[in-house]
Amino acid sequence: MRTRLPAFTRFRWPAGVAVVALAAAACSTTGSAATDTHGLTGTPIKIGVLANVSGPTGASEASATKVFQAWAAHTNQAGGIGGHPVQVVVKDTKEDAPAAAAAARSLISDSSIAAVVAASTSTDAAVGSILADSGLPVTGGIGYNPTVWGKLKNWFGLTTTFPQVVNMQIASAQPVGGSAISVVACAEEPACVAAVPLFEAAAKAAGKTYSGTMQVAAASPNYTAQCLDLVNRKVNFVQLSISPAVGVRVVKDCQAQGYAGYFGSSASAISPTLYRTANIRLAGALNAFPWWADTAPVKAYRAAMSEQGVSDDDAGQPASTAMWASGELFKKALTSAAGKASDPVTRQTVLGAYGKVKGETLDGLLPQPITFTAGQPAPPVNCYWLYQYQNGAFAGSAQPTCPS
């Protein structure tokens, strides 16, 4: 049975990049600081993080990495996992397939690494089989590439998977009256339009008018002509398949041309860079828990971020909450499996623990009850959280939406 949550409050962050293919359906350097063990003397549990820290569109994934490091420090401060301190080793994929593959092999060759979390959506395909075949478990993170998540063994996904990661964008248009839908996509990368046929089909299946795809170049001085076209075609929901920085420019130009509808942004495309744009109206779907929710587990997340000195900009996006949820599930799964503080925690220990995860929701931090079976690919995650954002505040349903 699903856990019902109380209604969200309208939560405001104080004032203060990833290229997306319609929520990124497209598709080494050690950067970790020493994790504070807080005096714990047990055998350490070392977790590798494959993260796009320095790539051109890696802002949200770099933020998510900070959150995971903060989770480890917070966990150690509270006694670790059964007395075992957690240590985090970050490998920067640089948004580059060869670099990502080299980083994955580096983690595999280090026998002290017990598990990996993935925070480099653009390179999942480059490392998928390498990690699946190695026996090094990927215990969550951020991802929806259908050739990896839900397809390969030892990849334990927790966030919304394909095809719902595309369909949920159409679903997010419904509550805000989006009836004539268009996509604004980047012109530089084929990945930005890779999911457009699926998006168009989902729009038509939902009875929406699909008003076409418009590609824009980051180097363009303005987007006045494109925005006028959207207004003339009476589009009232524009899905953004561009980096947040370019998205801000498109939003401002379209506002100046009289566009009064909503902009769509979902999954790891949502970032403070975009949602802090003046007078923006956003609607979309989250593939990880909403950071503004008024529930005990989410309040604990915000308190931990404050305690660990993580900024609201880094904590306030779904890529970051996905990494926190991954850490919390790891802690819960390993608490009884880790053994004595002096016992080593190996990859087999982690695989055994994850094979026993049954119907887990983490009290609402996961989008649906999660069950894993040893030696089998993780089941699809079909649920997500719908949200709206306007007047500087988030609002949305307290209950994840779970299509059939």
pLDDT at 103 over 90: yes
User: How far, in Å, CA of 278 to CA of 273, rounded?
Assistant: 11
The single residue listed with the structure tokens 């293919």 is 21
DSSP 53: S
pLDDT tens profile 110-168: 999 999 999 999 999 999 999 999 999 999 999 999 999 999 999 999 999 999 999 99
Between 303 and 192, whose confidence is greater?
A: 303
Pick from 46-60, 94-108, 207-221, 305-319: least confident: 46-60
69, with CB counted inside 10 A (0-12, 13-18, 19+), is buried
Closest by CA to 65, choosing from 16, 26, 120, 27, is: 120
Q: Do 25 and 162 meet the contact criterion of CB atoms below 8 Å apart?
A: yes
- pLDDT of residue 4 exceeding 70, the answer is no
Question: At 34, is the pLDDT very low, low, confident or very high (cuts 50, 70, 90)?
Answer: low
The domains located in the chain, with CATH, are 29-161+294-381 (3.40.50.2300), 164-290+386-396 (3.40.50.2300)
Query: Distance between CA atoms of 119 and 122, rounded to whole angstroms?
Result: 9
Instruction: Report pLDDT for 12.
Output: 33
The whole-angstrom separation of Cα 38 and Cα 375 is 35
- Which of residues 57 and 243 earns the better pLDDT score? 243
| Unique residue bearing structure tokens 């049954």 | 358
- At residue 17, the pLDDT reads 26
Sign of the CA dihedral with 159 first, then 66, 292, and 268 last = negative
Q: One-letter amino acid identity for 114?
A: A
Averaged pLDDT for residues 273-297: 96
Query: Tell me, what's the pLDDT at 139?
Result: 98
d(CA 228, CA 211) in angstroms, rounded, equals 14
Confidence band (pLDDT; 50, 70, 90) for 1?
A: very low
Q: Is the pLDDT of residue 399 over 90?
A: no
Could you tell me the pTM of the whole model?
0.91
Provide the β-strand partners of residue 262.
237
Who contacts 377 (Cβ-Cβ below 8 Å, separation ≥6)? 150, 151, 152, 153, 155
How high is the pLDDT of residue 7?
A: 33
Torsion-angle region of 367 (φ positive above 0: left; ψ -120 to 50: alpha; else: beta): alpha
318: nearest Cα among 124, 150, 193, 144:
144
